[in-house]
């Protein structure tokens, strides 16, 4: 049984809460400054240094702030410039503000509400597609070009997947090998 006075108890309680808060804040701060896609020290979680491709240099309508200055009016209707976009991603993606940061249109909006540059779209995709993101980081998913060792140039998600309709559709196959002179057809082609 504590012989502490009510004052001491209150103080201890406050100190404890403050300590807990401080620890949590430190941890959050630490995780925020960590760069999960860059090469870590060699060890369990090592990967090659990845140089993601930049998207912004190749977008027709970037910077978005040129038209949206800086916010987007919440009309809910697509303006004339983006009429070709239709969203077929997931059920909750019914309007632009789900992924795009309507307060600062040159950035994207994480589920936490934080803003990230358009070139770091993989962070946004990785929030829902965590497994694919982990695979992408080690090179099991996605496309890498150039050199097989050292820093690698990697495609980012929008290079293959249109974020509005991410499913990759069919493509025309290149020609089949010539059918052998004495070949046997196994079924219909």
Partner 1 sequence: MGTYLRYWVQMIRCAFSGTGLYYAWMAALTLVVIAGGYALSLQLDEGLVVTNMSDQVSWGAYIANFTYLVGIAAAAVILVVPTYVFHHKDLKEVVLIAELMAASAMIMCLLFVTVDLGHPERFLHLAPGIGRLNFPRSILAWDVIVLQIYLLINLHVPGYLLYKKYLGSEPTRTYYLPLVFLSILWAVSIHTVTAFLYSGFGGRPFWNSAILAPRFLVSAFASGPSLLIIVFAAVKRFGGFPVKDSVFEYLRKVVMVAIPANFFLLGCEVFKDFYTDSTHVASMEYLFFGLYGHARLVPYIWTGLALNLTALIVFATPRLRQRRLRLAIGAFLCVVGVWVEKGMGLIVPGFLPTPMGDLVEYTPSAIEIGVCMGIWALGAALFTVMAKVAIAIMRGDLRAASSAAPRLSAAEEADVSLA
Partner 2 sequence: MADRIPHNPEHPDGLGRRDFLKGLLATAATATVTASGCSTDWDRFFQKHYKELTAEDKQRVFDRVKREARERFNRELNLQDPKPIPGVAFAFAISLSVCNGNRACVHACVQENNQSREPAIQYIKVIELDHGTLNVEKGDMYYEGEVPRPGKVYLPVQCNQCDNPPCVKACPVEATWKEKDGIVVIDYDWCIGCRYCMAACPYEARRFNFATPSLQAHELNTNVGYLSNRPRPRGVVEKCHFCLHRTRNETYPACVEACPTGARKFGDLNDPDSDVSRIVKDKRVFVLKEELQTLPRLFYYFD
Residue ranges in contact with partner 2 by CB under 8 A: 39, 42, 46-48, 132, 135, 138-150, 152, 155, 160, 168, 170-179, 183, 185-187, 189
182 binds, among partner 1, partner 2, none (CB under 5 to 8 A by kind): partner 1
Show contacts of 131-139: CB within 8 Å, 24+ apart: 137/36, 137/37, 137/47, 137/50, 138/47, 139/47, 139/48
Q: Of the two residues 73 and 184, which places its CB atom closer to partner 1 in the complex?
A: 184
- Kind plus residue range of the DSSP H or E element containing 32: helix 6-33
> Using H for helix, E for strand and C for coil, what is the string for 81-116?
HHCCCCCCCCCCCCCHHHCECCCCCCEEECCCCCEE
- Contact between 189 and partner 1 by CB under 8 A: the answer reads no
Q: Of the two residues 77 and 185, which places its CB atom closer to partner 1 in the complex?
A: 185
132 binds, among partner 2, partner 1, none (CB under 5 to 8 A by kind): partner 2
Please, which residues have CB within 8 angstroms of residue 51's CB and are 6 or more apart in sequence? 151, 152, 153, 154
145 binds, among partner 2, partner 1, none (CB under 5 to 8 A by kind): partner 2
Q: Of the two residues 48 and 70, which places its CB atom closer to partner 2 in the complex?
A: 48
DSSP string, 112-138: TS-EEEGGGHHHHHHHH-HHHHHHHHH
94 binds, among partner 1, partner 2, none (CB under 5 to 8 A by kind): none
Spatial strand order in the sheet of 152-154: 50-52, 152-154, 144-145
Spacing of C-alpha 113 from chain mean position: 14
Site size toward partner 1 (CB under 8 A) is 7
Q: Of the two residues 171 and 184, which places its CB atom closer to partner 1 in the complex?
A: 184
For residue 63, whether the previous peptide bond is cis, meaning omega lies within 30 degrees of 0, is: yes
Q: Of the two residues 14 and 38, which places its CB atom closer to partner 2 in the complex?
A: 38
Q: Write out the binding residues for partner 1, residues 123-182 only, by CB under 8 A.
A: 180-182
83 binds, among partner 1, partner 2, none (CB under 5 to 8 A by kind): none
Residues that bind partner 1 (CB under 8 A): 180-186
């Amino acid at each position: 049984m504590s012989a502490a006075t009510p004052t001491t108890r209150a103080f201890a309680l406050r100190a404890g809460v403050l300590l807990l808060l401080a620890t949590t804040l430190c941890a959050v701060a630490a995780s925020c400054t960590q760069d999960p896609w860059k090469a870590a020290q060699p060890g369990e979680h090592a990967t090659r240094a990845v140089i993601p491709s930049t998207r912004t240099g190749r977008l027709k309508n970037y910077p978005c702030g040129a038209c949206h200055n800086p916010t987007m009016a919440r009309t809910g209707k697509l303006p004339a410039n983006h009429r070709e976009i239709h969203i077929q991603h997931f059920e909750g993606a019914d309007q632009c503000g789900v992924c795009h940061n309507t307060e600062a249109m040159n950035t994207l909006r994480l589920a936490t509400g934080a803003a990230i540059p358009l070139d770091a779209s993989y962070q946004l995709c990785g929030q829902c597609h965590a497994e694919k993101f982990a695979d992408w980081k080690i090179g099991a998913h996605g496309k890498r070009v150039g050199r097989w060792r050292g820093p690698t140039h990697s495609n980012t998600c929008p290079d293959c997947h249109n974020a509005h309709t991410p499913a990759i559709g069919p493509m025309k196959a290149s020609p089949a090998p010539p059918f052998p002179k004495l070949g046997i057809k196994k079924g219909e082609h």
